[in-house]
Amino acid sequence: MPTARPTTMDSPVITTTDLRKVYRSRDREVTALDGVDLTVREGEVYGVVGRSGAGKSTLIRCVNLLERPTSGTVEVAGRDLTALAGRSDRAPAALRAARAGIGMVFQHFNLLSSRTVQDNVELPLEILGVSGRERSRRARDLLDLVGLSDKAGAYPAQLSGGQKQRVGIARALAGKPKVLLSDEATSALDPETTRSVLELLRDLNRQLGLTVLLITHEMDVVKAVCDSAALMKGGRVVESGTVAELLATPGSELADELFPVGGLPSGPDSTVVDLTFHGDSATRPVISQLARTYNVDVSILGAAMETFEGRQIGRMRIELPGRFEDNVVPIGFLREQGLQVDIAATAEQPAAVAR
């Protein structure tokens, strides 16, 4: 299992350790989480990605104890929530207090249709016993923050999907949380609205110092907004790390999904090479230099380039004529230029191309 190097960001805010969740019925049991270890550091936007049934939604609901884990621990901001969810008389109150520091944004908005936008945002503050004047002030500030100050008196039925989700985000921030959980918050939105909501989440992350844990099945969401990511399959985290680290990890499934560069060789007598560009190497004409310096015909089979945190990062699959031993020097040149070089296939192992 390829795993990137540990991140060097700030201290952990969310940590799950050997987290398990088993659903049992009379005649069967289903393991939704199978020993999940996850670390989300302060100030990160962390994406958990996977197909339907991978365990993503169960994971995020276990983080705030909406679902009680079968075993394992969940720590948020230094507090063990699984211990707070014990059976003592004081445990429920302690858990409610801890949850006040965790905001939650839902896929289907979960707004009350009979309440105005402002009243929906005020709802968590009512539950916390905040005075009416303070509730109103806080709600107005939050609606201004998410760009909906002019919709305070409107009802959910009068809003677009993107506006409803912005109300959901404002409501999630009402308790001044340090952690924001997002459960497929953009999956019901069109692409343009998705982009605007993701930009809002990133802005809130930076302005408020929020730590954001989001789950999604969309790789574009991870690419657009996440600092770090984890891939889930069958209730397990099979790969995790910062996006930059994952791109530099040979054999990374997430890197292949985020920056797909598939392509088949044109003939049997060739060497196929996967290149990862970081930093300055992404803007230099390395491939043309290779072709000129060694008088070699280079075929580009596939390429993907994105700007990530202000830096260009990309991957490319190229084909060099001849066997691997004929291309040792050109491949060495590519490595000297600061590129990560992985051999995808050679004349002796052509099946390796179909990754």
Distance CA 205, CA 185 (A): 15
Name the least confident of 75-84, 109-118, 146-155: 75-84
pLDDT above 60 for 78 = yes
Residue ranges per structural domain of the chain: 12-101+177-247, 259-353
Backbone angles phi, psi at 185, to 5 degrees: -65, -20
Distance CA 21, CA 32 (A): 6
Residues in the chain: 355
Distance CA 189, CA 2 (A): 33
Closest CA to 179 of 84, 269, 51, 45: 45
DSSP 8-state code for residue 7: P
pLDDT above 60 for 220 = yes
Q: pLDDT by residue (tens digit) across 226-272?
A: 999 999 999 999 999 988 788 777 778 888 888 777 777 777 788 99
Q: Any idea which fold 12-101+177-247 has?
A: Rossmann fold (3.40.50)
Which stretches of 144-242 are assigned E, i.e. beta strand? 179-183, 211-216, 228-233, 236-242
Give the per-residue pLDDT at 90: 53
Q: Is the dihedral of CA 149, 154, 156, 162 positive or negative?
A: negative
Q: pLDDT by residue (tens digit) across 334-352?
A: 999 988 888 887 655 544 4
Backbone angles phi, psi at 90, to 5 degrees: -85, -15
Closest CA to 228 of 217, 209, 212, 205: 212
Give the per-residue pLDDT at 6: 42
Q: pTM for the complete prediction?
A: 0.82
Distance CA 117, CA 198 (A): 21
Buried b / exposed e across 295-315, counting CB within 10 Å, b at 16+?
Answer: ebeeeebebeebebeeeebbb
Backbone angles phi, psi at 287, to 5 degrees: -65, -40
- In a 13 Å sphere around the CA of 84, the CA atoms on its Cβ side amount to 19
Partnered with residue 48 across adjacent β-strands are: 215, 230
Q: Which two tokens stand for residue 83?
A: 């211990």
Q: What is the CATH number of domain 259-353?
A: 3.30.70.260
Distance CA 277, CA 283 (A): 9
Strands 45-49 and 211-216: parallel
Closest CA to 204 of 234, 164, 172: 172
Q: What is the mean pLDDT of the chain?
A: 86
**Average pLDDT for residues 95-113, to the nearest whole number?**
87
* Contacts of 87 by beta carbon, 8 Å cutoff, 6+ apart: none
**Average pLDDT for residues 63-74, to the nearest whole number?**
93
- In a 13 Å sphere around the CA of 296, the CA atoms on its Cβ side amount to 27
